[in-house]
Structure 1
Amino acid sequence: MLRSVFVGALTVGLLALGVPAYSQSEPVNDRVSAPSNAEPERFPGGRAGAEKSNCAEAAARHKAAGSTGLYGCITEVSETEARQRSAATGAAAVPLPVNDCTGNENGSWWALRLSQCQIDPDVRYTLRDKDGTIVATALFAIAQQMDLSATSLEWTETDQLVMLEASPKLPALTATWTTKCAATCSPATTAVFSKQPVKVGQLLKKTYKVADVPTKKYDFLDVDYTLNFDAAGATEITPPSTWDAEVRCDDQLSVGNTSGCVVPWFTPTLNISRAQYGSSADMINWAQINLSGHWGLRSSGKPLHRLQSASEQKKNRQAICGTGKFTPDPAVEQDSCDEFPFAGTYESGALNGVDHGNACAQVTSVRKNSTGDLPFDWQTVTPIGTVTGNEKCVRGHIPGPLNSYAGGAYGNFVQTARLADNDGFWLKVTSS
C-alpha cells in the first residue's frame, strides 16, 4: 500500500515536469524527499504589533467628550527604547510568552509555509490625567502562533498576553482581545479575552480554531486583531491597538482533490539531494552557478515560479526534449533528456525564447563508479561543447531514473507547499 501511495505521488511529480517515468527496482519513496521550508522568513512589511502610538487620538477623544477624568492610550515601545529599558532593569523578572518565534521577539510576523508567529514584548499602556500627564504605565508582551495545514481549511491559533511590569499607581486593569476573520471564515469573530483582569506576571492564553468556508477562487483572508485595556476609574475611550495577518486558502485549485491553507508571502525552498538524484541534481547546481539566470539560487538569483497548466508544460517539454530533438547517448545508462529550469515553471527555456533544446547549454552525466547505485555511480555532469553562460536553459544526458526521481521531488513539493500557479520557490541542491 505504501509503495502505491508513493508511486502515485511520483506520477504527479512527473506530470508536473513533463518527465517520462522509468522502471526501477527500489521503492520510489526512497528517492522522493519532502520539501524544506528553509529558514523562517520575516514579514516584509516589518513590525506587525500594536500601532506605534494612539495617544494623540486618545487625547483628542478625551477632549471632545468633555471628560475630566483619567484616560489611557497604547504605544509600541521602539526597539531602541526597549533595549535601553532592558539594560536599565536587567533581566526581566516576568518571562516572555513562548512559541516558535522564541528568539525573534521583535514584534514582526515570522513564517514558514504552514505556520506564522510573533512575539512583541514592547506594548505599553499609559494612563494619563486630563492634562496629559502620565499617572501610571504597564508593559505587556503579546504572542501569537497560527498553525495551518496543506490538506485542511481549518487552522489553529494560540494567542498569549502577559503584563511584564507596572508602576505602583496603576489601577486594576482589564484586557479585551478580539480576532476577526474575512467574510468566508468561520467563526467570523473570536472573543479571545473579554474584560479579562490582568496583573503583573499573569499569563493569559487561549487556543482556538478558525476555518475557511471555500469559494471557487483563492481566498486571501485578512485576519484582524484588536487589543484594548480598560483601567478602573478611567474613561473608556482608548482607541484599541490593531494589527493583522494574512492567510491564503483554496479548495482543489492549487492541488487537485485536496483543500488547504498557506502563508502566501513565505517563499518555500525545494531541496534537491545529490545523494538521491545524482547527476540530475548536479546538472541543476551546475546551471545555477554557471548560467546567468541562476534560477532558484537564493544568494544570487530569483525564485522559480510554478507553471500549473499541464498543456503548457507539455509544450515546454516538447520544445526542449521532444521527438527528433534529442538523441540518447548509449554511453549514459538509461539515458534521458533532462532540462532545467523545469518544464513545469515559468522560467522554462521554452517560455523564454528557446524553441529547440540545442539552444540550451549541453551537459552529460559522468560515470564515477560501477556499483549499480545510480546516484552514486552517476554523480556529476560535464559540459558538452562551448558554453557562453548566457543560455536560457540547460539540457542534459541523465540516467532516466534520476531524471524521474527529481521530477517526483518537485511534484511532491508542489503538493506539500501547496504552490499555486506562479507561486515562487527557491531551489537548493544539497549533499544529502
Structure 2
Amino acid sequence: MPQLSTAIEETAPVCSDVPAGAASPTAGPGVLCTRIAPLPSPRSSILADPAHDDDDDQGSGENGVSSCSVVANSWTEQRLSYCYNLNLTSTFINTKTGAVSTAIFMVVGQATLKPRSGSWKEDGLITMVSGGGDLASAIVKFVADCSSPCSARQENPLLASTGVLMAPGASAASSITYTDSPASGDEDFQVPNYSFFSPPSRVSSTNNPVVWSSLSRIRCDKTMERNTVTGCVVSDVRPVLDLPIDDKYGAAAASYAWAQLYLSNHPGAADSPLTRLDDKATRIANRTNTCEEGSTVPFVRDDDLVPTDSCDEYPFAGTYEGGTNGALCAEIVPLLENGSWNFYEFDHSRPVTKNEPCIRAHVPLQQNTDAGSKYSGFISSQHVIDGEKFTVNLHF
C-alpha cells in the first residue's frame, strides 16, 4: 500500500484542470478534479461480490416542507406543498344612489401533500383589510372544489354556505380537506378551484365571484409498491435528489458528481434528468448488466486500493438510463487526497474518454449502500413514480 500511495500521488490529477465557471459541486470546501490519471499496475484483484441494489430498500426520506411567500398576489409551489397569498378587491355600485364602494381582502392558504396518502388539508385565513360605504361590512363566502373522483370538504361550513359577516380588521379561518381515491395502478390529476364572494351586508345585491385555480396540477396515484400505496404531489414540480459529498456518502456522491459534470451526457443534471424505473426485475437486470455477470468486462474488486471495494453504477440501476453493459462505462476510482477528490482510470486497456454513457466506480461498500438508501428514501418520500423525471443535486 505505501508503494501504491506514492505512485498515485505522483500521478494525481491537478485541480486546476477543473474548468473555469464549472457549476457546483466544484465550489465549497471540497474540490473535484477533472483529469483522469492512470493507476499503476500490477494490482491485487478479486472478483466483486454484489454490493447493493440502490432501489431495493425503503431508506429514510424527508418530509415535504410547506411555506408561503409574504409577497402579495403570489402562488408558491414545492413538490409536496403549495400556498397562495392574494389581495382581492371587491367593488359594489349602488344602482339607486350611484355610489361606488370598495373593499380589500387578503386571502391566504397553505397545504402540505402526503406521499403516502390520498388526502391533504389546506388551511387558510381570510381577512377584510379595508372597506367603506356600502361595503363597510360584507358577507364573505369562500368555496373550494376539485374534479371527480377528488372531493373537497369545507371544515368551516358556514363560510362555504351562507357566508360570514365581516368588517375591516376581521378574519375568518378556512380549512379544506381534499380526498382522492385513484384506482389501483391509476393516477388522477387535480386542479383545486376557488370562488370568493363578498357582497355588502346591508344592501340586497348579486355578486360575481372572484375565481382562481392552482397554477399546477396535483397528481394523486396508486402506483407505488405494487399498486398498494396512494400518494399526492405537485406533479409539475420536478423532484430533486439532494446528495451531499460528505463523510457519509463520500466516494459514491463524488463519483456521481464527476459523471454529471464531465461525462458528455451529464446524467442527472437539469438538462439531462434521470427517469424512475419501478419494475424490480428490470432494476436487478440493470445492475447485473453494469456491475455483475451481465457485463462483458467483469468488475474486479481491489480492497487494497479501496477498502471494502464495491461497484457503484451511475446512472442508477433503478432508472431507465441505467443498465448499460459495464464494459461501456467509464470505470473510475475516486480517492480523497489532501482535501481533493481525485479520479483515476482503473483499467489501462479501457481508457476513459468522458464520452461514455455511464460510470462504474470503485466505492467503499458502506458509502455505496448509504447512497443507495438515500436514493430509495427519496423515491418514497417524494413519491417518484415509474417514468417520472428527476434530477440529482450533488454538492459539498
TM-score (norm 1): 0.68
Does residue 67 of structure 2 align to residue 100 of structure 1?
yes
Paired with 1:210 and 1:36, the residues of 2 have a C-alpha distance of 19
Does residue 211 of structure 2 align to residue 241 of structure 1?
yes
The answer to whether the 8 A contact 2:111-2:122 is kept is yes
Identity of aligned residues (%): 26
Does residue 318 of structure 2 align to residue 344 of structure 1?
yes
The answer to whether the 8 A contact 2:126-2:174 is kept is no
1:79 maps to none
Deviations 1:53-100 (A, max 9, x none): xxxxxxxxxxxxxxxxxxxxxxxxxxxxxxxxxxxxxxxxxxxxxx82
Deviations 1:102-150 (A, max 9, x none): 4343332x22322211111x31111235599771211211111112222
Paired with 1:124 and 1:203, the residues of 2 have a C-alpha distance of 16
Aligned match for 2:257, one of 269, 285, 304? 285
Aligned match for 1:198, one of 160, 163, 166? 166
Q: CA RMSD in A?
A: 3.2
Does residue 109 of structure 2 align to residue 149 of structure 1?
no
Paired with 2:267 and 2:233, the residues of 1 have a C-alpha distance of 23
Question: 1:170 aligns to what SS in structure 2?
Answer: helix
The CA deviation at 1:174 is: 1.1
The CA deviation at 1:417 is: 0.9
Does residue 92 of structure 2 align to residue 118 of structure 1?
no
Farther-moved stretch of structure 1 (399-408 vs 182-191):
182-191
The CA deviation at 1:207 is: 2.4
> Residue 362 of structure 1 aligns to which amino acid in structure 2?
E
Question: 1:230 aligns to what SS in structure 2?
Answer: coil
Aligned match for 1:177, one of 142, 145, 154? 142
> Residue 307 of structure 2 aligns to which amino acid in structure 1?
E
2:378 maps to 413
Paired with 2:261 and 2:282, the residues of 1 have a C-alpha distance of 27
The CA deviation at 1:188 is: 5.8
Query: In structure 2, do the counterparts of structure 1 residues 126 and 328 end up closer, same or farther at CA, with 3 Å as the change threshold?
Result: same
Aligned match for 1:260, one of 221, 231, 234? 231
Paired with 2:250 and 2:342, the residues of 1 have a C-alpha distance of 7
Alignment of 1:9-20 (within 5 A): 14-15=52-53, 17=55
Query: In structure 2, do the counterparts of structure 1 residues 316 and 167 end up closer, same or farther at CA, with 3 Å as the change threshold?
Result: same
2:43 maps to none
Query: In structure 2, do the counterparts of structure 1 residues 102 and 188 end up closer, same or farther at CA, with 3 Å as the change threshold?
Result: closer
Question: 1:235 aligns to what SS in structure 2?
Answer: coil
Gaps of 5+ in 2: 1-50
1:230 maps to 199
Farther-moved stretch of structure 1 (286-295 vs 191-200):
191-200
The CA deviation at 1:308 is: 0.9
The CA deviation at 1:186 is: 4.3
Paired with 2:360 and 2:112, the residues of 1 have a C-alpha distance of 40
Gaps of 5+ in 1: 1-12, 22-28, 41-98, 370-375
Paired with 2:275 and 2:382, the residues of 1 have a C-alpha distance of 13
Farther-moved stretch of structure 1 (339-348 vs 208-217):
208-217
The answer to whether the 8 A contact 2:134-2:203 is kept is no
Paired with 2:210 and 2:243, the residues of 1 have a C-alpha distance of 47
- Bigger helix share: 1
The CA deviation at 1:171 is: 4.8
> Residue 179 of structure 2 aligns to which amino acid in structure 1?
A
Question: 2:313 aligns to what SS in structure 1?
Answer: strand
> Residue 311 of structure 1 aligns to which amino acid in structure 2?
A
